[in-house]
Amino acid sequence: MRVPGPLLATILNHARQGYPLEVCGVLLGRRTLNARTVEEVVPVPNREAENPEVRYQIAPEDVIRIQREARETGREILGYYHSHPDHPARPSETDRLLAAQGLSDGVLHLIVGVEAGRIAETTAWVFEEQGQGFVEEALE
């Protein structure tokens, strides 16, 4: 997955500012045979009402709106990002279960670990339905 520096900075700032709650957003771009390149980052409100410190939820209406806007520019939703406050930047079991419930095969997930308000690590993952799990993706 390729994420240009300024777009990654937007994601990291969102994660820092949202701490100690999880933040989330949508990754828009284009897919080629050899790569997926993020061309736009769309931060969205975390709609998780009960446990926003350890979970996130992107409202369906936000996804639909962003998807429509992306199509107008020839882009598509490549995936999503979210933060893990005071937890490793690895998919949690909750992340896996949510991905397994939806149409997530091949969807990118960028996770930002935030420790005590500071960015600790950023990792990228692809969900594979066949194995019902995440595989780490190189982040450029």
Among 22, 40, 53, 72, the one annotated catalytic: 22
> Mapping DSSP to helix (H, G, I), strand (E, B) and coil, where does residue 14 land?
helix
| pLDDT surpasses 80 at 83 | yes
| pLDDT surpasses 90 at 131 | no
Task: Report the amino acid identity of residue 107.
Answer: V
Both tokens assigned to 84: 């893990």
Reading phi first (left if > 0) and then psi (alpha if -120 to 50, else beta), residue 6 is in alpha
Strands (E), 56-117: 76-85, 108-115
The pLDDT of 31-51, averaged and rounded, is: 94
Q: Is 40 a catalytic residue?
A: no
Q: Which fold has domain 5-137?
A: Cytidine Deaminase; domain 2 (3.40.140)
- Write phi, then psi, for 16 (nearest 5 degrees): -65, -45
- 100-126: pLDDT as tens digits: 887 788 899 999 999 999 999 999 999
Both tokens assigned to 129: 């339905």
CA 83 – CA 127 distance, rounded (Å) = 17
Domain boundaries, the chain: 5-137
- Nearest partner of 96 among 135, 68, 59, judged by Cα: 135
Is the torsion defined by CA of 94, 98, 100, 105 positive or negative?
negative
pTM above 0.85, yes or no: yes
Alpha helix positions (H), 55-92: 60-72
- 1-35: pLDDT as tens digits: 999 999 999 999 999 999 999 999 999 999 888 88
The pLDDT of 77-96, averaged and rounded, is: 96
